[in-house]
A = this chain, B = another copy of it.
Amino acid sequence: MTHPSEQSPPPGIRARLHEIIFEAETPAGKAFDVALLWAILLSVLAVMLESVAPIRAQYGQVIRVAEWVFTVLFTVEYMLRLFSVSRPWLYARSFYGLVDLLAILPSYVSLMLPGAQSLLVVRILRLLRIFRVLKLVSFLGQAEVLLTALRASRQKITVFLLAVLSTVVIMGSVMYLVEGEANGFDSIPRGMYWAIVTMTTVGFGDITPKTVPGQFIASALMILGYGVIAVPTGIVSVELAAATRQGINPEACPGCGAEGHDVDAVHCKFCGTRL
């Protein structure tokens, strides 16, 4: 699978290819991105449809052919990417490089190991390649604000999750004691699964308390979960408000170059220079 022309391409072709494949400023680059987006979506759709028994029975042949067309296309694309970057090995080991490889590898492996059908589901990870394409468009700014808010609330959310998980462990054990195996709570992990289902207000109903004390404890847990959902929401709201406000003032201090001033700031809060 070594590319023969990799040793000596005219530098112009390499740069041009890089521009088309990795950038989106030129019309060719944009067209490439749009085509790639469709190829990814269609190939993910093919993987999904192949898993549906009646569709596989009727259109299995068509889907397999489409699948190989996408695999060959993505293989060519992967090689072009390797070829157009100046340090191929660095790209191959990067996150997107690995996702690009994972998008084509299962098809080839399934040729050699005919039994490894379940491996084909790994191809669904091609979906992650969408983010590579989207990375280049205007949504990035919004995603950045969201990520800043989530990053800023990371510690608070950890504390919150720790409290939730402790409640889950203790409540799961209590219900294992109170309800017992006869009512489906046949181990502490099963009780914890039930506690998570209940506290997150999902409530599948596959395991439910049958005894009166069990239903009483469950009621308390539900009201707790109902009130507790307010905490992450409050955390994210506050951080998001901060991130949005910050995002509004993009200018740096003319005196010391510091950024991140509030919108209503008249003087730099670090050096006192008038903004």
Contact = CB atoms under 8 A, between A and B. Distances in A.
Interface stretch (A6-14, A88-96, A106-114, A227-235): A227-235
A189 B48 contact: yes
Nearest to A158: B139
A196 B173 contact: no
Given A156-B146, A241-B238, A187 B52 contact: yes
Contacts of A159: 139, 142-143, 146
Interface string A155-180: 11111111010100110010011000
Contacts of A266: 269-272
Task: Identify the interface centre among A212, A231, A241: most chain B CB within 10 Å of its CB.
Answer: A231
Contact of A240 (B150, B234, B265): B234
A261 B264 CA distance: 11
A134 interface: yes
Contacts of A177: 118, 121
B227 A226 contact: no
Contacts of A44: 169
Interface stretch (A30-38, A71-79, A200-208): A200-208
A145 interface: yes
A20 interface: no
Interface string A184-216: 001111101100111111111110100010011
A125 to B, nearest CB: 7
A222 interface: yes
Across the A-B interface, the 5 shortest Cβ-Cβ residue pairs = A267-B272, A202-B203, A234-B236, A265-B269, A205-B205
17 contacts: A53-B186, A124-B170, A124-B173, A125-B170, A139-B159, A142-B155, A145-B156, A190-B215, A196-B222, A201-B202, A202-B225, A203-B204, A227-B232, A233-B237, A262-B262, A264-B269, A267-B267
